[in-house]
Amino acid sequence: MKELNNVLASIRPLDEGTLSESEKMINDLVKPIGSLGRLESLARQLSGIYRSTQWVADKKKIIVMAADHGVFEEGVAVTPQSVTALQAKNTCLGLTGVCALAAAACTDVEVIDAGINCDDLEGIRQIKQHRGSANITTGPAMTRCEAEQLLYRSALIALEEAGSGTKVLGIGELGIANTTPAAAIVSVMTDTAPDSVVGLGANLPSERRQHKVDMVTKAIRVNGPEKSDPISVLSKVGGYDLAGMAGLIIGGAAAGIPVVLDGFLSYASALIACQLNPYIPHYLIPSHLSAEQGAQVALSHLKMKPYFDLEMRLGEGSGAALAMNLIEAAYQMMTKMGTLSDNGLNLPEPL
């Protein structure tokens, strides 16, 4: 798809000059060099993303992609599928977990209907092509054309957000049974057996996990996705919410703003997006280590270390909401601390 390829081609590497300048500024802050640990590397990354050491991340937003999945028919989830639409409405009303945590971080939240199995919901932007993806155990989740279209439309949303002043974009999802296609993507993209990446999702009884493993194994066997073609993987064993998040990642990187990942579902989407352009990982901020099995497998493949581990597995963008506070802390560190040079100090660098 030409339009999607054009967006991908516009993604640039981080500015090396700014990275170097920000490192000098951070090392000159009135503290032992390196004593604020990964907060310093986060501030440096943000400077490189914004291509300035005078960056401001004052407008933050989390976009929650919501969609249903045909594989729900296979008994891989115990929560009713109708909960996807219900929680989409609750997100609109500010009543979900991500909304509560985002409020604490002065972050806006918007839910987008990428493929919920219901009529269009009032007050919710919709980009869906179908009411839920197809059952991946019997065939592909969607056509390749549908996957490309959704990637592009979601990338445009991220570009529009940046154009309207959003400085930090977080991603999240809603979709009953979506940990099944996410596990399939992670299994294929990391060459890892399904049994090592399939978890319990939203409280699936442990005795039913093997059935879920079997369904992921079957989906991969039936569709034959090849990790060398990430869009094919997405279309064959993915889902609309996963495609939507991958598109937001692409668009955020193209817009030159950081994209904060949430948990396991967002890692799966990142595996797809990062293979489409080698510079995309530089724009990603991994918030937390999801408690979902397979999370560490995906993060290791992405070569990313999450910033915290609270044993969370809610999804929705809840981890991304908490990470917004770290970004604000990095900003305050860069702008509010005094400097060694102003105080006439010259501390040695750590060994």
Catalytic residue list:
316
Q: Which two tokens stand for residue 80?
A: 């009713």
244, 249, 252, 257 alpha-carbon torsion, rounded to 10°: 140
- Report the distance separating Cα 229 and Cα 189, nearest Å: 10
Q: H-helix or E-strand containing 236?
A: helix 230-237
97-to-106, 264, 268, 278, 307 alpha-carbon distances in Å? 14, 17, 21, 33, 20
- Torsion angles phi and psi, residue 108, rounded to 5: -80, 155
261-to-62, 128, 145, 200 alpha-carbon distances in Å? 10, 22, 25, 20
17, 43, 269, 104 alpha-carbon torsion, rounded to 10°: -150
DSSP-derived secondary structure letter, 225: -
- Report the distance separating Cα 11 and Cα 251, nearest Å: 9
- Report the distance separating Cα 312 and Cα 162, nearest Å: 29
